Amino acid sequence: MYDGQEFLRDNRWCLSRRALLTGAGAVGAAGLLSACGVGDSPTGQAAAAPGTVLARTGDVPVGGGTVVDGVLVVQPEAGTFTAYDATCPHQGVRVGAPRDGVITCPAHNSTFAANDGARLAGPATRGLTEIPVRIDGTNIIRA
């Protein structure tokens, strides 16, 4: 005769279809979220190491920028180059190059000023982290 306890004792490792699908969904979600981690390194800092050539001066348009190795290099006005960690401080999504002097995070539309990285609007509570750079001839190098 079936008493329920015997079933549990003999089949304790057997999963229901619902439990199996729920577990598979959780594993998939965890993998997806890990791909959206903060920054490009375990510390949340931009990947480019000091001394790395990030771009050539001619590759960064005036009023625009480019993302290289987790660093956003911008040229807000002719001859002035600034760089920021390209990781949005809100949830770690990579920001894009500026348009009309504004850097925008594609995830939740936080916006930042291209000339100084300051937060303009959105859920981010602070501006972008500045990355020191130096110019050597036509190279923009992480300092």
**Lowest mean pLDDT, pick from 37-51, 86-100, 121-135:** 37-51
pLDDT the model gives residue 3: 54
Within a domain: 112: yes
Within a domain: 45: no
CA angle at 29 for the pair 24 and 35, rounded to the nearest 5°:
135
Residue 80 has pLDDT above 60, yes or no: yes
Structure tokens at 128: 């972008």
pLDDT the model gives residue 26: 47
Residue 65 has pLDDT above 90, yes or no: yes
Q: Which domain holds residue 83?
A: 53-142
Within a domain: 46: no
Say whether both 62 and 22 belong to one domain. no
pLDDT the model gives residue 48: 86
Per-residue pLDDT of 11-62, as tens digits, reads 444 555 565 455 555 444 444 333 343 434 333 555 689 999 999 999 999 9
Say whether both 62 and 123 belong to one domain. yes
Within a domain: 42: no
